[in-house]
Structure 1
Amino acid sequence: MNAPPRNMLPRGPYLLCDDTVLPDVPLVDKAARLVAGGARVVQLRMKRTPPRAALAAAREVTALCRRAGALCLLNDRVDLALLAGADGVHVGDEDLPPEAARELLGPGRLVGVTVRGLEGARAARDAGADYVGVGPLFATMTKQVGAPVLGLESFAEVVKGSPLPVVGIGGVKLWNIGKVAATGAHGAAVVSDALLAGDISERVRQLVAAFEQGGAGD
């Protein structure tokens, strides 16, 4: 399968479609609600989904995002990204090294990397990454992270000095996403605040508006 033309990461909320949050709702349904609310990038994170079901979900979510003009990235799973024709991957501390992800994906897809500060952002750039997720920005219960909370002041310093676009990760919610945008961040990753909302699509619309308002002075 040929790689799609490489895209820049869209600015704004970066929505995660996670199989551990709202687990009774199918991943494709969650992704559809995120996209319906205006999500321009969806990261599909599947830690509990069996391999065959994960591949099927990756293909369906990738197609759904493409029809809506949104990007679909796979968390960690370079193999699924390739098989599904997704737009790229995001790798973390214990995942495939970014150099290996780039080698497998080639130049046509996005590679994002989770880092903890400026040194990590520079290393990610040298490894061929397109953007970095920096955090944890705030305390979060969605994922256990063995790293100290950065806070907005330290995060803003990373944003200022990073050679790559920065996405804030960890504990981002509607009430604080505007503050993340005000640091000059390229994006802000949101998981539970969107997926556990009474109306997922409406919450995404609110997150998009809040990010745009917060970054208006950037």
Structure 2
Amino acid sequence: MNPYRLYLVTDEKQDLATLLHVIEQAVAGGITMVQVREKHGDVRAFIERAMAVKQILQGTGVPLIINDRVDVALAVDADGVHLGQSDLPARIARKLIGDDKILGLSIENEAQLKVADQLPIDYIGLSAIFATATKTNTQKHWGIEGLKLALNQTNLPVVAIGGINLSNIRQLSATGVDGLALVSAISHANDPKQATADILTLMQG
């Protein structure tokens, strides 16, 4: 099974009860991976959220990935870490988490893409595909053509992130991309389970 296929990135602005409800529903709808993101710097709150999510995911086979923080990932024994370009370098992160954990890295431009295959990572998060309100400091928007370029350039699985919604999922899936990462399209849906199922249907289309 491809764990990257439909990748939920949590919304750090949601309170814990809402977040857990969204994840529970998304898992029921067919989500294949969950990344807990917390940008506010409160490590204890991050660990608390991550532990609560881990409990929900227990026994589902859906891996738990921690955004940016290797210390938090180790503290909760998560399945992996996703790093940004300004976080801990991938080689150091790999030494700390060991060989069995999943390590992802955000790739924001062509120069980073060129060296990605030399790094001890498991997948790349190609960011941002389209403009998105969730992330305003993006270096570039890859678009469909940029995504195709990246897929041709790397041997690593590619997860597309940024501005992905029901209107462009079919087009993105047609590129053969390994996975799609979404925040709002699932987190802010009235029915996260149905939204997840609808996205998977579009991906097959």
Q: TM > 0.5 between the two? A: yes
Matched-pair contact (CA < 8 Å) for 1:44–1:74? yes
Give the root-mean-square deviation of aligned CA atoms: 1.9
Q: Distance in 1 between matches of 2:4 and 2:67?
A: 19
Which of 76, 87, 92 is equivalent to 2:79? 87
Q: Secondary structure at the match of 2:58?
A: helix
1:40 and 2:32 are equivalent in the alignment: yes
TM-score (norm 2): 0.91
The count of aligned residue pairs is 205
Matched-pair contact (CA < 8 Å) for 1:13–1:211? no
TM-score (norm 1): 0.86
Q: Distance in 1 between matches of 2:18 and 2:40?
A: 12
Amino acid at match of 1:91: L
Q: Distance in 2 between matches of 1:106 and 1:151?
A: 34
Percent identity between matched residues is 34
Q: Distance in 2 between matches of 1:200 and 1:71?
A: 18
Q: Secondary structure at the match of 2:200?
A: helix
Matched-pair contact (CA < 8 Å) for 1:121–1:164? no
Matched-pair contact (CA < 8 Å) for 1:19–1:49? no
Displacement after TM superposition at 1:108 (Å): 0.8
Deviations 1:23-52 (A, max 9, x none): 475433332222122111001101237322
Displacement after TM superposition at 1:200 (Å): 1.0
Q: Distance in 2 between matches of 1:81 and 1:198?
A: 30
Matched-pair contact (CA < 8 Å) for 1:165–1:186? yes
1:97 and 2:89 are equivalent in the alignment: yes
Q: Could you tell which deviates more after superposition, 147-156 or 122-131? A: 122-131
Q: Distance in 1 between matches of 2:170 and 2:58?
A: 27
Q: Secondary structure at the match of 1:167?
A: strand
Segments of 5+ residues of structure 2 without an aligned counterpart are none
Amino acid at match of 1:142: T
Q: Could you tell which deviates more after superposition, 93-102 or 75-84? A: 93-102
1:17 and 2:10 are equivalent in the alignment: yes
